[in-house]
């Protein structure tokens, strides 16, 4: 490829990615040459500035028509724009938590590594959002995964952090192998890695044996990506990793990484398998596989919520809560209604604010007390009424109580599952039942904060980055709960129902 051809591409559509890549590179170089005793938090602020610049550049691209470069391997469509906003917004809030994070065993010598690895993980997630090719999807997935493995074990002197990183690497390697094996079947049948070309070729398949192989490919890709989502029964790594990883990394995995998991699942499965004809009916193969997705969604909701009842560690409890919420989103994915994209995007938006806000307060409490036991939340209302009030907002939203963004998110998924024919009554029933079960452990935290006496009445020192995160998250959780149309109007006016997703 000559220079003129290279310069003819519309590189401007990759401005957010270039900003994140440039920031990560500069952070790595600065960390290398900065004096060892110099405070690395300045790198965190520089990284935050890079994320904000990427958000600004992305908002300037919202009105741009759908375009692609490099033989359609990178697509800037409404799907990519919508989910990149979630990824970048979540990353900015996590970065604020990371700047304030100071574990008792110390992490200063690795803090610079933390910031630029965080940026590379974000870059991988953003690449997945815009990928139109299996190769770039896989590269983005591995960039996110490998950075996340290192971040989970960044506290090198902490045995639980080391254990969590090891379990994460092993489970992540297995899931990657399964996913890649499934992708290889699709490539073997079509002879291309481009998603649009695949869809065109697969729509003409009439060999029953090829359809059977594609069914196996679907199951392997779906199972492999289910590890990334921490959906049952592939969730076994999540509680240990969430507990052992630094709290900002746990927040990143529960929100940004989970969003990226749903992004790649929708990109691959909807782009490829919605075009494959089924042997048994006139519907595409994807609709024949709805029962498998529904079964996984039901199992994920049940296992996540039931096991959470027995947890005493707040981070393990939120790990199982995160598993349960993946199940709720899988209900929308299983139903495949006309409002599927709206429901999933809004739920991930609501989940971003309510979960990150809760983790901001968890970080303050665990750094102060040196332990993650729920009992240390006792009497929080008397020690810090504002923190207790904000935590109550996040807990009520996670539980799906009316007046919060979490309630609107669950209601959208609920209605979407009922509007299809046939309606998913079993999944909806499981969703309602498990939501009621979640009240027991969510309200257990509220009981500790408001109705249990505190062991001591020492005030909690507030940190600026964490306070900003809590305020933003609490305000957004309430506003989108009372006026959800603000988010839906923004979605409809800027992303046009993702009609360009398969074009």
The model's pLDDT over 136-165, given as tens digits with 9 standing for 90+, comes to: 999 999 999 999 999 988 888 778 888 888
Kindly provide the b/e burial profile for residues 124-157, where b requires at least 16 CB atoms within 10 angstroms of the residue's own CB: bbbbbbbbbbbebbbbbbebbbbbbbbbbbbbee
Residue 219 lies in a domain: no
Instruction: Let me know: does 125 contact 73? Beta carbons within 8 Å.
Output: no
Instruction: Let me know: does 93 contact 128? Beta carbons within 8 Å.
Output: no
**Lowest-pLDDT choice from 149-158, 249-258, 298-307, 475-484:** 149-158
Tell me, what's the pLDDT at 220? 93
Find, among 192, 265, 190, the residue nearest to 227 by Cα: 265
Q: pLDDT tens digits for 220-229?
A: 999 999 988 8
Mean pLDDT of 243-250: 89
Tell me, what's the pLDDT at 301? 95
Q: Which residues pair with 235 in a beta bridge?
A: none
Residue 314 lies in a domain: yes
Tell me, what's the pLDDT at 441? 92
Q: How far is CA 277 from the centre of its chain?
A: 31
**Lowest-pLDDT choice from 152-166, 317-331, 406-420:** 152-166
Tokens of 312: 């005493």
**382 falls in which pLDDT band (50, 70, 90)?**
confident
Domain count, the chain: 1
Residues spanned by the domain of 332: 298-503
Instruction: Let me know: does 140 contact 110? Beta carbons within 8 Å.
Output: no
Residue 436 lies in a domain: yes
Mean pLDDT of 27-33: 89
Residue 291 lies in a domain: no
Tell me, what's the pLDDT at 496? 77
Mean pLDDT of 106-131: 86
Residue 444 burial (10 A CB sphere; 0-12, 13-18, 19+) = middle
User: Per the confidence metrics, is the pTM higher than 0.75?
Assistant: yes
Residue 94 lies in a domain: no
**407 falls in which pLDDT band (50, 70, 90)?**
very high
Rounded-to-integer distance, Cα 229 and Cα 223, Å = 10
Residue 471 lies in a domain: yes
Find, among 465, 28, 87, the residue nearest to 261 by Cα: 87
Tell me, what's the pLDDT at 10? 75
Give the CA distances from residue 223 to residues 172, 216, 277, 321, in Å, rounded to whole numbers and listed in that order. Answer: 12, 11, 21, 20
How many C-beta atoms lie closer than 10 Å to residue 277's C-beta? 17
Q: Reply yes or no on whether the pLDDT at 7 is more than 70.
A: no
Q: Reply yes or no on whether the pLDDT at 31 is more than 90.
A: no
Percent of the chain with pLDDT over 70: 95
Q: Reply yes or no on whether the pLDDT at 204 is more than 90.
A: no
Residue 71 lies in a domain: no
Mean pLDDT of the chain: 88
Instruction: Let me know: does 192 contact 204? Beta carbons within 8 Å.
Output: no
**104 falls in which pLDDT band (50, 70, 90)?**
low
Residue 188 lies in a domain: no
Rounded-to-integer distance, Cα 373 and Cα 370, Å = 9
Omega before residue 233 within 30° of 0, cis: yes
Give the CA distances from residue 123 to residues 132, 391, 398, in Å, rounded to whole numbers and listed in that order. Answer: 16, 30, 28
């Amino acid at each position: 490829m000559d220079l003129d051809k290279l310069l003819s591409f519309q590189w401007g559509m990759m401005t957010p990615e270039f900003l994140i890549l440039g920031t990560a590179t500069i952070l790595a170089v600065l960390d290398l040459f900065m004096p060892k005793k110099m405070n690395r938090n300045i790198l965190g602020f520089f990284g935050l500035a890079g994320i904000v610049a990427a958000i600004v550049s992305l908002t300037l691209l919202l009105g741009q028509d759908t375009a692609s470069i490099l033989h359609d391997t990178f697509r800037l469509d409404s799907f990519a724009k919508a989910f990149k906003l979630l990824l970048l917004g979540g990353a900015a809030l996590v970065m604020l938590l990371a700047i304030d994070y100071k574990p008792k065993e110390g992490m200063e010598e690795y803090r610079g590594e933390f910031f630029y690895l965080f940026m590379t993980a974000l870059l991988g997630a953003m690449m997945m959002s815009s990928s139109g090719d299996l190769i770039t999807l896989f590269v983005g997935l591995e960039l996110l995964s490998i950075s996340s493995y290192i971040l989970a074990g960044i506290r090198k002197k902490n045995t639980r952090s080391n254990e969590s990183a090891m379990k994460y690497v092993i489970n992540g390697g297995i899931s990657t192998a399964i996913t890649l094996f499934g992708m290889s079947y699709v490539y073997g049948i079509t002879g291309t890695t481009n998603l649009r070309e695949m869809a065109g070729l697969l729509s003409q398949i009439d060999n029953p044996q090829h359809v059977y192989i594609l069914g196996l490919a679907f199951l392997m890709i779906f199972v492999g990506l289910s590890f990334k989502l921490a959906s049952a029964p592939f969730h076994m790594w999540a509680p240990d990793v969430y507990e052992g990883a630094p709290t900002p990394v746990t927040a990143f995995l529960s929100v940004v990484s989970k969003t990226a998991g749903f992004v790649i699942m929708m990109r691959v499965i909807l782009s490829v398998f919605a075009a494959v004809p089924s042997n048994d009916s006139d519907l595409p193969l994807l609709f024949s596989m709805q029962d498998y997705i529904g079964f996984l969604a039901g199992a994920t909701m049940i296992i996540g919520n039931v096991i959470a009842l027995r947890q005493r560690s707040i981070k393990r409890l939120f790990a199982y809560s995160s598993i349960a919420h993946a199940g709720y989103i899988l209900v929308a994915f299983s139903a495949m209604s006309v409002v599927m994209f709206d429901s999933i995007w809004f739920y991930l938006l609501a989940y971003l604010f309510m979960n990150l806000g809760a983790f901001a307060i968890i970080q303050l409490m665990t750094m102060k007390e040196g332990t993650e036991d729920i009992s240390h939340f006792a009497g929080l209302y008397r020690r810090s009424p504002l923190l207790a009030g904000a935590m109550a907002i996040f807990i009520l939203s996670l539980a799906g109580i009316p007046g919060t963004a979490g309630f609107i998110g669950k209601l959208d998924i609920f209605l979407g599952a009922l509007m299809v024919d046939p309606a998913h009554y079993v999944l909806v029933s499981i969703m309602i039942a498990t939501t009621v079960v979640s009240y027991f452990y969510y309200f257990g935290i509220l009981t500790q904060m408001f109705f249990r006496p505190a062991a001591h009445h020492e005030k909690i020192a507030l940190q600026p980055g964490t306070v900003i995160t809590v305020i933003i998250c609490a305000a957004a959780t309430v506003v989108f709960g009372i006026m959800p149309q603000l988010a839906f109007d923004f979605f409809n006016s800027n992303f046009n129902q993702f009609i360009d997703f398969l074009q």
